[in-house]
Amino acid sequence: DGIRDRDVTGVQTCALPILADPYRWMEDLDSPKTRAFVEAQGAYTESYIKALPQRASLHQRLTQLYRYVRYDTPFMAAGQTYYTMNTGLQNQNVLYRATPGGGREVVLDPNTLSTDGHLAVVGYVLSHDGRYLAYGVSDAGSDWTQWRIRDLKAERDLPEVLAHTKYYAPVWSADDRALYYSAFPAPAPGQELAAEDLDNALYQHVLGTSVSDDARLYSDPVHRDLQFLPSLSGDGQTLIVAVGEGEVGDKGLEDVLLMEVRSRTWAPMSTGFKAA
């Protein structure tokens, strides 16, 4: 039948047919051929959409529906109230701080980070004293996140940037002098979208120092798929780390490790992936 054959011993074996695989070249995401294909597909789609006579009226109706002010849930830091708001048609919500008398002031406007909106803010973490704001920036929707640190008193970003992070926000130390964060090794150029999530590690960054000097607090080179989500106890004395096989939370069960902040000594709280 074209599939079954017999080997020299007379035993029937199965030889699989050759399958066509004409699009394997598209797995090279950054090759000129792949980029040209994507651009051609985009141009073809856009030419069709632009020719639709209903497009103008649909655009007008959607604009009407989206043009309303909306807020996210407020949060507190150092006795002050922060919240994000969108006037209706902004690409990204703006972070505000409430002022006495019911007013507000802009803390960070993500819409100013890039002219075409490819840089998006995906999270905010304020220091306990309200002086510093760590904010995560994603490029073109990537899981890769850079955490920048803004001095709100000086109204400028610090030079250090926490790079090669994914999924997890950093955590401020109790004295607001450092950040605990989870990061991956830097991917090879051109492999940012193809690199596996392996060799995650936990670090400590001290403000005013180079990120190249950040202390590596914990990793597991034997189990390379483990990832680490840090949080801090209420008294600031214990770093609590949820450990996941892959992204923390995906399987619903984690290990939990504790680090005594002053001595940097570690102790397991729950192992065997039994904790939720």
Residue 106 above 50 pLDDT?
Answer: yes
Q: What are phi and psi of 196, to 5 degrees?
A: -75, 150
Amino acid, single-letter form, for residue 55 = R
Residue 2 above 50 pLDDT?
Answer: no
What is the DSSP secondary structure assignment for residue 111, as one 8-state letter? G
19 or 86: which carries more pLDDT confidence? Answer: 86
The predicted model scores a pTM of 0.80
Q: What SS3 class is residue 114?
A: coil
Q: What is the per-residue pLDDT for 4?
A: 46
Q: Tally helices (H) and strands (E) across the chain.
A: 2, 19
pLDDT in tens, 189-200: 877 777 888 999
Q: What are phi and psi of 45, to 5 degrees?
A: -60, -45
DSSP 185-199: PPPPTT-TTT--S--
CA 240 to chain centre: 20
- Residues 249-262: what's their mean pLDDT? 93
Residue 17 above 90 pLDDT?
Answer: no
Whether the CA torsion 186, 187, 190, 192 is positive or negative: it is negative
> In Å, how far are 81, 134, 174 from 126, measured between CA atoms?
11, 6, 12
Which pLDDT band, with edges at 50, 70 and 90, does 11 fall under? low
Q: What is the per-residue pLDDT for 12?
A: 62
Mean pLDDT is lowest, of 165-169, 231-235, 248-252, for 248-252
Annotate 21-86 with three-state secondary structure: CCCHHHHCCCCHHHHHHHHHHHHHHHHHHHCCCCHHHHHHHHHHHHCCCEECCCEEECCEEEEEEE
Q: Which residue has the tokens 């892959």?
A: 246
Contacts with 267 (C-beta within 8 Å, 6 or more apart), sequence order: 257, 258, 259, 260
pLDDT in tens, 116-161: 888 999 999 999 999 999 999 998 888 899 999 999 999 999 999 9
